Amino acid sequence: MNLTGGIILFAVLWFLVFFVVLPIRLKTQGDVDQIVPGTQAGAPHEAHLGAKVKITTAVTVVLWAVLATVLLSGVITLEDIDFFNRLRR
């Protein structure tokens, strides 16, 4: 894995973890009975995006370190996941 691959892996993992973390402890406007006119009841009342970004980054750093270690150590190679035998050497 080169630098570009590492950055792309980190970005993909970050967004994946972010979309998993977003609905955690979400309070909607309908839950707190403070619906702003013109918005849906399911709109967030308080999103807490700053905390969620920090949690996402911390989890992503750990996941990225594990995946990068596995990929760079050679435990899993491209030939291991070539199920259709298309990468003959």
Per-residue pLDDT reduced to its tens digit, 26-85: 999 999 999 999 999 999 998 899 999 999 999 999 999 999 999 899 898 888 888 888
> Could you give the CA distance from residue 75 to residue 67 in angstroms, rounded to a whole number?
11
Q: What is the pLDDT of residue 81?
A: 85
- pTM for this prediction: 0.80
Site of tokens 């996402």: 56
- Give the residue with greater pLDDT, 10 vs 78: 10
**Rounded CA gap, 59 and 54, in Å?**
9
User: CA separation (Å) from 40 to 21, 26, 35, 56, 82?
Assistant: 21, 15, 7, 27, 47
Confidence band for 87, pLDDT divided at 50, 70 and 90: confident
